[in-house]
Structure 1
Amino acid sequence: MNEKVKDIAFRIKGLRLLAGYTEEEVSKAVGLKTDEYSRYENAQDDIPVSILYELADYYNVNMTEILTGTSPKLHDICFVKKGEGLKVERYDQYSFESLAYKYSGRKIEPMFVVLDPDNSPDMVSHKGQEFNYCLEGRMRVIVGKEVLDMEPGDSLYYNSTIPHKMVALDRKEAKFLTIILL
């Protein structure tokens, strides 16, 4: 496990202890088996982004606090230069870059995502709604039973509680913007 994953695990354990909850209470609240939650909290497994969102919501903290250990401070405007977004390493198949991590109290989570053409991710689901805009390459998006192939300029908006995944096509990485309504 890399150091970032260990740091995130340490922070979620700290939040639980500060709140006075047991692992069983938190795991039930976020819809996990206790042993699965315990593996995340003890940095034995990488924590899916969807679970991080659930934990942030459960503890009423900003996702940036869980990822970095610091609270976002900006309230009126947040400018992030190209390549300076917060890297979120959650899955081998996806490379996430949070584009508004400095903004406090945000209602959406915009991210730049790069799909690895050599890996196919598992289906995931999380609260809210999601918007994807294909920037480069081609990608297949599977939402429930729907299968959609996207090219640059194509967009998709869907209920993200439905299991979904994105896969790069043509053995080339694909890049897209995703905006998740929190």
Structure 2
Amino acid sequence: MSETLGSELKKLRKGRKMTLKELSAESGLSISFLSQVERDLKTLTFTSLKKISEALDVNVNFFFDDNQKDPVDTASLNGNFSYEDLSGDIENPLFTPALVELKAGETQHSPYTHRGQEFIYVLSGTLQVIIQGERTVLKAGDSIHIDSKVEHEWYNDSGEPAKILLVSSNVT
């Protein structure tokens, strides 16, 4: 990917004729935070990237080069997680499978809602999942299916990285 995540975000937002204020209102993220992300002064958590993607009506995959399959390179784009799209070359898929690795010690927690559903299978590590205020701890081999219309969040606040298989429905 030749452009940074921040510059891709800014280009997409401006292409949609959306102001930072409007993106802030749609995503629930502050104007100052979004501005810093666009200028590559702040990194994104996976949760924040999902909120921005939803507000801009694109799949999270939009921000990652289709030809880039090395999760280590993907992680260097944002610092907090790596994301590898596993959907292959299917045009307009109904769901998107992805391999996500969350670095240890994530402290930004932010519940959100969006269209569709998520299925999470923990491959290694520990994942905190909160659905409508109720906390569940998932360990390797555990899974959960989430109706994304209900307030939810998931993160890794443990001392070890967590690797998950995330399958998200692509509802338009």
Above 0.5 in TM-score? yes
Query: How many percent of aligned residue pairs carry the same amino acid?
Result: 21
Counterpart for residue 108 of structure 1: 95
CA contact (8 A) 1:141 1:165 kept: yes
The correspondence for 1:176, drawn from 157, 161, 164, is: 164
Distance 2:59 2:142 in 1: 30
Distance 2:19 2:155 in 1: 34
1:126 offset after TM fit, Å? 4.6
TM-score by length of 2: 0.68
Counterpart for residue 10 of structure 2: 13
Distance 1:22 1:39 in 2: 14
Structure with bigger gyration radius = 1
Distance 1:54 1:140 in 2: 19
Equivalent position SS for 1:179: strand
Counterpart for residue 105 of structure 2: 119
CA contact (8 A) 2:8 2:63 kept: yes
Cα–Cα, structure 1 residues 44 and 99, in superposed 2: closer, same or farther, change >3 Å?
Answer: same
Cα–Cα, structure 1 residues 132 and 91, in superposed 2: closer, same or farther, change >3 Å?
Answer: farther
CA contact (8 A) 2:129 2:155 kept: yes
1:177 offset after TM fit, Å? 1.1
Asked which structure has the greater RCO (Cα within 8 Å, sep 6+), the reply is: 2
CA contact (8 A) 1:142 1:165 kept: yes
- Provide Cα deviations, 1:66-120, integer angstroms capped at 9, x if missing partner: 333x7x9xxxxxxx9xx6568355453x43322126443233232213344x414
Equivalent position SS for 1:21: coil
Q: Does 1:32 align with 2:39?
A: no
Q: RMSD in angstroms over aligned alpha carbons?
A: 3.5
CA contact (8 A) 2:83 2:98 kept: yes
Equivalent position SS for 2:163: strand
Amino acid of the structure 1 residue aligned with 2:26: A
Counterpart for residue 151 of structure 2: 162
TM-score by length of 1: 0.65
- Provide Cα deviations, 1:35-66, integer angstroms capped at 9, x if missing partner: 22222222221234344344444444454333
1:174 offset after TM fit, Å? 3.8
1:143 offset after TM fit, Å? 0.9
Equivalent position SS for 1:87: helix
CA contact (8 A) 2:96 2:168 kept: yes
Equivalent position SS for 2:10: helix
- Provide Cα deviations, 1:138-165, integer angstroms capped at 9, x if missing partner: x242314333333443211123452422
Count, aligned residues: 164
Counterpart for residue 75 of structure 1: none
Unpaired runs of at least 5, structure 2? none
